[in-house]
Amino acid sequence: MGELLPPYGGTLVSLYDEGWEEPPVTMPVGENLIQIIGALASGALSPLRGFMDREASRSVVEEMRLPGGLPFPYPIWLPVPPLFARRLKEGDRVGLQDTHGNAVALLEVHDVFTFDPRWKPCLGPEDVFPPRYPHVFLGGTLKVVRRLWAGDEPYSVRELFFRRGMTSLAGKALRDPLFRDTEYLLRLVLEEEDGVLLLLYDDDAFGLPARLRAEGIRRVLQSYLPPRRVEVVVRPWWPVGGHVRKALLGAVVLRNYGCRRILYHPDDVGEDGVPGGRGGRNYRLLESWLSHFAHHLEVTPFLSFQVYFCDGCGQLTTSRTCPHGPLEKVMMNRERLGRLLQAGVTPPPQYVRPELARYLLGWTRGGRGKGG
Ligand SMILES: [Zn+2]
């Protein structure tokens, strides 16, 4: 029997270390950073072992490579208040705590650096960063003292698929509760791959909380796809959200979960509703970067065209296989689907399975959604 694709860089990083030595200084970190620490600790961002220092940041921002040469698309930064940073130097240890004062991790400081304005043009308008404030970052390696991602770690998800005898996986970062265009993509790849991993972003996309979207996904799986071949992991921090470099980072994360086939949809880089094609600027940029990146990452990207329902074909399709004209196409973008759901209106069955629509609308009509 074969094995799942090994993690990026060869080894699945684990930064867990139960030993907490009282650090001389501590700093509170917010939920978003705790999730990034969870990603680092569990190896989802292998081969990284902490937050990037100045040299790694320069190299990643300007050349999309780590200093050792391995391609890496996105800087992983620990922003700190400038006044606090002034007290720190190389070799110091900083305790990172959650907002209740509980210990999360120890950072051994490599350097303290400020955002270099020369990096800005490299990042491009599609990448929203750096954070406006503060512009000061701590680079260093982490020892993480609390299990943050129990059950969802790359190690346990790899084990799960492996125990099911699956060795070839596809992966997709997503925000939707498995609308039919995403289901269409899963069908395509499940013809070839043993399983699919979905990374669901925990925000309020489509006006629906993530736990609701995750449950919606499970309902579609129960009725329309082999549920054992698809797993969903929900996290508040995933590299999704309309930025090309983030979409590339998604490939690194999925690779660390063992996925060799990475699925993209035009929406993943903020180009919802590009009719019939994948001609948007961001999507072309993603495609060109992936052509450099994918080889080193040893993954095969699958960039879908916009999926739509065609009356002529009588099914969901893309401009790649459908010969019909615009009058037969029922185009519907996700933004519109979200608006319908939030307004309590049943979306067309060509786009949302009735079981899923009933479940989601039960929530919004029950007055628990925005605007009730
Ligand atoms: Zn057609």
Residues 131 and 162 in one domain: no
Alpha carbon of 214 to ligand 1 centroid (Å): 31
Q: Is pLDDT at 15 greater than 50 in this prediction? A: yes
Residue 278 forms part of a structural domain = yes
Alpha carbon 283 to chain centroid, angstroms: 16
Whether residue 174 sits in one domain with residue 72: no
Quote the ligand 1 centre to 324 CA distance (angstroms): 4
| pLDDT value for 273 | 47
| Statement to judge: residues 188 and 330 lie in one domain | yes
- Which stretches within the chain are classed as H helix? 31-42, 54-63, 82-85, 120-123, 154-163, 180-190, 210-224, 244-256, 281-297, 334-342, 354-363
Residue matched to tokens 């959200």: 241
User: Positive or negative, the Cα torsion across 155, 157, 161, 167?
Assistant: negative
Residues 222 and 350 both lie in one domain: yes
Q: What does DSSP assign to residue 338?
A: H
Residue 10 placed within a domain: no
In a shared domain, residues 89 and 36 = yes
- Gap from CA of 363 to ligand 1 centroid (Å): 34
pLDDT at 242: 56
Q: Which pLDDT score, from 0 to 100, does residue 235 have?
A: 81
Per DSSP bridges, beta strands 103-114 and 315-317 are: unpaired
Cα→Cα distances 186→51, 257, 264, Å = 34, 17, 11
How far apart CA 277 and CA 50 sit, in angstroms, is 39
Which parts of 86-174 fold into alpha helices (H)? 120-123, 154-163
Of the residues 126, 144, 162, the one at which a domain ends: 144
Residue ending a domain, among 113, 144, 175, is 144
Instruction: Read off the CATH number of the domain in which 110 is found.
Output: 3.10.400.10
Ligand 1 centroid vs 306 CA: distance in angstroms? 13
Q: What is the mean pLDDT of residues 348-360?
A: 94
**Is 351 within 8 Å of 309 (Cβ atoms)?**
yes
**What is the sign of the dihedral through the CA atoms of 216, 331, 184 and 292?**
negative
- Rounded distance from Cα 179 to ligand 1 centre (Å): 19
Report the CATH number at residue 241: 3.40.50.620
Please count the structural domains in the chain: 2
Same domain for 70 and 183, yes or no, is no
Note whether 134 and 193 are same-domain residues: no
Among 95, 124, 144, give the residue marking a domain's end: 144
Judged against a pLDDT cut of 90, whether residue 221 lies above it is answered with yes
25, 130, 232 from 330: Cα distances, Å: 59, 39, 29
225 with 109, same domain?
no
Give the domain extent around 289: 154-368
Average pLDDT over residues 105-133: 77
User: Comparing 1 with 314, which gets the higher pLDDT?
Assistant: 314
* Whether residue 131 is found in the same domain as residue 220: no
Residue 212 lies in a domain: yes
The pLDDT of 27-41, averaged and rounded, is 92
On whether both 73 and 159 belong to a single domain, the answer is: no
**Residue 95, domain member (yes or no):** yes
pLDDT band at 313 (very low <50, low <70, confident <90, very high): very high
Residue 320 is encoded by which pair of tokens?
Answer: 């790649």
| Ligand 1 center to 311 CA (angstroms) | 6
Alpha-carbon gap, residue 271 to 268, rounded angstroms = 7
- For 339: left if phi > 0, alpha if psi spans -120 to 50, otherwise beta; the answer is alpha
- Reported as a pLDDT band with limits 50, 70 and 90, residue 361 is very high
CB count in 10 Å sphere of residue 70:
13
Using the predicted structure, report yes or no on whether residue 131 has a pLDDT greater than 80. no
Mean pLDDT across the stretch 239-256? 82
Integer Cα distance of 294 and 304 in angstroms: 16
Residue at 13 is within a domain: no
Task: Reply yes or no on whether the pLDDT at 275 is more than 60.
Answer: no
- pLDDT of the residue at 240: 56
CA–CA separation, 177 and 351 (whole Å): 11
Instruction: Say how far apart CA 39 and CA 246 lie, in whole Å.
Output: 14
Token pair, residue 164, equals: 């099911």
- Residue 172 placed within a domain: yes
Task: Compute the mean pLDDT over every residue in the chain, rounded to the nearest whole number.
Answer: 88
Same domain, 228 and 133: no
Distance 175 CA to ligand 1 centre (A): 27
> Is residue 8, in this structure, part of any structural domain at all?
no
Which pLDDT score, from 0 to 100, does residue 331 have?
A: 82
For residues 152-157, give the mean pLDDT: 93
DSSP state of 345: P
Ligand 1 geometric centre to CA of 271 (Å): 22
Please state the rounded mean pLDDT for residues 299-327.
Answer: 94
Tell me, what's the pLDDT at 367?
67
Of residues 47 and 268, the one with the higher pLDDT is 47
pLDDT of residue 234: 87
State whether 188 and 303 are in the same domain.
yes
The pLDDT confidence band at residue 112, using thresholds 50, 70 and 90, is very high
Residue range 55-64: mean pLDDT, rounded:
94
Distance between Cα 313 and ligand 1 center (Å):
4
pLDDT at 372 over 90: no
CA 286 to ligand 1 centroid distance, Å: 27
> Mean of the pLDDT values across residues 336-348?
91
Q: Match 């950073």 to its residue by tokens.
A: 33
d(C-alpha 262, C-alpha 174), whole Å: 12
The whole-number pLDDT of residue 116 equals 87
Q: What is the pLDDT of residue 95?
A: 96
Residue 356 lies in a domain: yes
Per-range mean pLDDT, top range of 72-81, 187-196, 206-215, 275-284: 187-196
Which of 8-22, 175-189, 310-324, 355-369 has the weakest average pLDDT?
Answer: 355-369
Omega within 30 of 0 (cis) for the link into 47: yes
Q: What pLDDT score was predicted for residue 330?
A: 87
d(CA 341, CA 353) in angstroms, rounded, equals 13
User: Does the pLDDT at position 278 exceed 90?
Assistant: no
Q: What is the pLDDT of residue 181?
A: 93
